[in-house]
Structure 1
Amino acid sequence: MKILVTGYTGQLGYDVVEQGIKNGLNMVGVGSKDLDITNEKEVSFFINKTKPDAIIHCAAYTAVDKAEIDKENCWNVNVEGTKNITKAAHNINAKLMYISTDYVFDGLGNTAFKENDVPAPVGYYGLSKYEGEKIVQQIMDKWFILRISWVFGANGNNFVNTMLRLAETLDEINVVADQVGSPTYTFDLSKLLLDIIQSDAYGVYHASNEGFCSWSEFALEIFRQANIEVKVNAITTEEYPTRAVRPKNSRMSKQKLLDSGFTPMPKWQDAVERYINELSEEVK
């Protein structure tokens, strides 16, 4: 099976390509320097030439706060770029997997959002990703939408790396305690995405490591696993103002994964431990 992965230079795209190669799949990874997804003609030509059996569309504009003032670029990448990829995929009858986000939901309540709950994004980034979801469903017959959250992995900046970096110079750190969701390790997620893309179980899925936590609980676990003494001060969202509104409730139900026979990802604490071990190995 030949699988094209956009966003190859990002955390998830990189791991998907690496994992696919290990599994003996024919992987083609492209970054923004290889393919400008906002250019319809370029996308059409490249995909017609490459002729993948499936496309995993990881490329996205993900600067959540910047998106509130850089709306044109965010829209061009997340909406127009997705439309270009989707049309080209449809034209060659390839499967398409679109990577979406917990930010498509409003974050209200404290129960897990189901796969068929109607999105209501509160920020521009979430809005642009939801528009991408709609385009995929409108154009494609063979489509998967994977909503993910709180991503961390070896090939990029993420919350784990940020906490470890801050701990080098600070004895205590303020971390938001009233936003709850699920961390997602790209190494684990990439395996799941490849399992799903090779199936015909089309539809919307939520994918993250098992279990829920707040950002402050996430930070505490990072420091525990890394054997670092740092005081974590639990603060409210209001005490840490940001340009974009963050959903306080990012819990997502993964029932569709279970119903479709896919193996759930490991617990998030286990993922943190393995990631920190991976970082330690790199230092050596």
Structure 2
Amino acid sequence: MMSRSANMAMGMSIEPSGDAYVTTTVFNADQFGIYTGSNPGDYEAVFFAQNGQVFINNAFIKDLSVTNEKIGGYIRSDNYVAGKNGWNIAKDGSAEFQSGTFRGAVYADSGTFKGTVQATDGYFYGTVKASKVEGDISATYAVPGFYTSVTSSAHTGRRTVYYTGGQEMAMRISIPMAAVRLYSAAGALRWRITINGSPLVSPISDSSGWINGAINSDFPDTSLLNSYFHGWVYNSGYVDVAAGASNVPITIEWAPGSGQSTGSGTLRILSFSIIASPAGKFTG
């Protein structure tokens, strides 16, 4: 049944559908609304339809599914109090939540954290300032001291430790001081320290970092007198390694002297420190 008057039409129908009936009620009007109020002057539109749009002044919806939604002002929880309770999303893109869990990526230009921040790994491309830092940005290792006899049949040897590394920056591996006492016949034995294959060259070494042992247990080689104290020799230095370098070897080795095929004596090395820190932090 359809009733039409001017630009308004109303229709009602009942149609069979299997064992049941389908009822339909339709309205066609330029504007359609539902008002409340007992006096014409107090009428208030609570539901209004015009030009394909529906306007609702205030609504309580128990369960709502929306494909797309546009917010003209804000959407918030009913207990929202700024800075205290609930949550709020404003149309300017700002939002406030009590807490949140994000299972994907988060991108931000800036931010402030007042509590603890935890992460598996990450990168900082600017300046990092902190009152306290714990971690392996700078690492120190104490190499244990040791003593060994060098025989003519076993006249070469080495001890190696490894810096695990893997830092995203160039690192400087330094040995502030290593004390070694190597006794042998004159020029029979020598020793040196290498870092990542590069020798620590000093005023008392040759160009390959080799340092000759002392003549006997009482006095050193007189050509090295200023570098010994009761037979001890001291060496130090550093080597820079590239960003990402890992398993960097630090080796102390001994061998027959230059031009010698064999040698014997005793070798004693005191415990010494190895320090790994970011390279290029000091100039002078």
TM normalised by structure 2 equals 0.20
Give the structure with higher Rg (CA): 2
| Structure with the larger strand share | 2
TM normalised by structure 1 equals 0.20
